[in-house]
Amino acid sequence: MSNVAVVGAQWGDEGKGKVVDLLTEFADVVVRYQGGANAGHTLVVGGQTTILHHIPSGVLHPGKTSVLGNGMVVNPPELVREIDALRGRGFLQGQGELFLSASAHVILPYHTALDVAREDRAAAAGGGGKIGTTRRGIGPAYEDKVARRGLRVGDLSDAERFQELVARALPEKNALLAHLGAPAIAFADFRDAYLAAARALGPFVTDTSRLLAREAARGRNLLFEGAQGTLLDVDHGTYPFVTSSTTVAAGAASGAGVGPRVLDKVIGISKAYTTRVGEGPFPTEEPGELGETLRREGKEYGATTGRARRCGWLDVAGLRTARRLNGLTGLALTKLDVLTGHKRIKVCNGYRRGGERLDDLPDDLGPRGGWTPEYEELEGWSESVREVREMDDLPRAARRYIARVEDLTELPVVLVSVGPARGETIVRKNPFRD
Ligand code: IMP
C-alpha cells in the first residue's frame, strides 16, 4: 500500500489533472481536499477533452473511487451539472464511485456575488486591491467557514435548517452587497435550485474521513489531488494574491481528514516554463513576444475563466521553495513540447538584491522587495518531442534541460509530459511502485 499526493509546484495550471488521471491506474481512491470550482482540470482522453472543476481527475477510470473532501468548498448546482455531464458520457455509472464529505462547505450565491462585486469595485478604483480571482465565490465561502457561519453540505439535507442558516446570514450579506453597489439576494432566488441539488447529491454524501480510514485499513492506495498551486497557498503563497485554502501537501491531511503521516510520496507538478493567471508578482514573466509565443504554443488560457495566462521562464528558485513547503519527493515536468523551437532557454536559479543572494523565493517577491531574478541559459532544441515516449529518444538538449532541472532542484523528474493526451507522456518512475 502506498499513498501519493500530487500538488502544483507553481501558481496553478501545471497539468495536475493529467498526472492524476495517469496515476489513477495505480490508485484505488482519488481525493480532492481543498478549493472548489476555481479549479479547472483539463483531461484529454481518447480524443475527448473533459474539464473538471470539483470532481477529482481520476473519475475517468471506471471502478475507482473519487472523493470530495471536507476541505473543499462546493457549489451544489454546479457539482450536479458536472456529475450529469460525466454520466451523460458514460462515466460514474457504478455504485460507490463518488463520495462527498458532509463537512465540505457550500458556496452560496451571495459568496459569488460578493467575490464579483469586490473584484469589480477594486478594478473600478484603479485595480490596486484586485486579486484577479476566478469569481467563483471561493474567498467569501472560506471566510464564512473560518468565521463559523458557513453552511456545510450536511446542512442542506434538512430544508428547515438550511432556511434557518441562510436567514441568519442573508441580512449581513445584503448589507455588504449594498455597500458594494450590488443588488440584494433573496432566499427565494436560489432555495429550490439548492434543495434540488441537495437531493441529487444526497446519495453521495458521507463522512469521507471515516471512508478513507476504512480504505487505508484495507490496504488501498490513496491518491490526493491538489488544486491551484504552492505559490497560491493562503499561508505560503504570494499573499494577498493567493487563493483562500491550503494548497501545499500538508492540506491533504486536514482537508481529507487523514493523519499527516499518511503520505508516502509527494509529487510536485511544474510546467517546463511558468504561468500565472490573475494579479500578483511573477518575476520571470515575459510580457513581450516570448510570453506571447509561450501562450500561443501552450494554449495558455484558463480552463475555468478563459483568461489569458501570463507566461515566462521556469523559476527553479520557486521549485526549491515548493520542495521545502511540500516535502516533495519528485517532480513531474509538463508541457515540455511547448519549449520546442527556442534557440536558448532560460531558467531562474536564484534572486539577488544588492549583495544578497537567495536560492529560493524571497518572501517579498513584488517590486517593493527589490529582488531581481538571476538566470542561467541553456541550449534549446528544434525537433518535435510529441511522439517521444522514452527519455533516451528526446533531443540531447531537452535531456540536458531535464537533467539540469534535476540538479538544481535536487529532485528526480519522475514523469515528463510532451503533449495533452494521456499517452503523450514519458514515465520514468511510478510513485506508487518505485
Ligand atoms: P480564487 O481562488 O478564485 O479566489 O482566486 C485567487 C487567485 O488564485 C487568483 O489569482 C486566481 O487566478 C488563482 N487561481 C484560483 N484557482 C486557480 C486555478 O485552478 N489555476 C490557476 N490559478 C487559480
**Quick check: is 315 catalytic?**
no
Write out the three cell numbers for 389: 515516449
pLDDT at 46: 80
In the prediction, which pLDDT does 271 show?
98
Per annotation, catalytic residue among 13, 115, 144, 337:
13
State the fold for domain 270-427: Adenylosuccinate Synthetase; Chain A, domain 3 (3.90.170)
Spelled out in words, what is the top-level CATH class assigned to the domain 4-101+204-267?
A: alpha beta
Pocket test for ligand 1, best of 277, 279, 334, 365 (most atoms within 8 A of CB): 277
Q: Which residues of the chain have pLDDT under 50?
A: none
- Parallel/antiparallel/unpaired status of strands 41-45 and 65-68: unpaired
The protein residue whose alpha carbon is closest to atom 9 in ligand 1 is 133
- Residue 227 has a pLDDT of 96
CATH homologous superfamily of domain 106-199? Adenylosuccinate Synthetase, subunit A, domain 2 (1.10.300.10)
238 lines ligand 1 (CB under 6 A): no
H or E, element range at 119: helix 109-124
Report how far ligand 1's centroid is from the alpha carbon of 240 (Å).
12
**Ligand 1 centroid to residue 354 C-alpha, Å:** 33
Instruction: Write b or e for each residue in 16-27: b if 16 or more Cβ atoms lie within 10 A of its Cβ, otherwise e.
Output: bbbbbbbbbeeb
What are the two backbone dihedrals, phi and then psi, of residue 349, each rounded to the nearest 5 degrees? -115, 15
Cell 505559490 locates to: 231
Q: Where are the domains of the chain?
A: 4-101+204-267, 106-199, 270-427
How far is the centre of ligand 1, averaged over its atoms, from the C-alpha of 278 (Å)? 7
- The H or E element that residue 384 is part of is none
Report the 3 state secondary structure along 272-289.
Answer: CCEEECCCCCCCCECCCH
Which residues are bridge partners to 427 per DSSP? 415
Supply the pLDDT for residue 49.
86
Q: How far is residue 304 CA from its own chain's centroid?
A: 11
Choose one of 14, 230, 234, 243 to mutate for the ligand 1 pocket test, by most ligand atoms within 8 angstroms of C-beta.
Answer: 243
Question: How many CB atoms neighbour CB 143 within 10 A?
Answer: 14
Can you name the residues that pair with 44 across neighbouring β-strands? 49, 421
Please give the pLDDT value at position 366. Answer: 86
> What's the confidence (pLDDT) of residue 434?
87
The predicted pLDDT at position 417 comes to 98
10 lines ligand 1 (CB under 6 A): no
Which position among 21, 28, 41, 337 bears the catalytic label? 41
Nearest residue to 36 via CA among 309, 229, 245, 322? 245
**How many CB atoms neighbour CB 382 within 10 A?**
10
Dist. CA 216–CA 203, nearest whole Å = 22
Q: Is the CB of 234 under 6 A from ligand 1?
A: no
pTM above 0.85, yes or no: yes
**Which of helix, strand or coil describes residue 295?**
helix
How many whole angstroms separate alpha carbon 285 and alpha carbon 288?
9
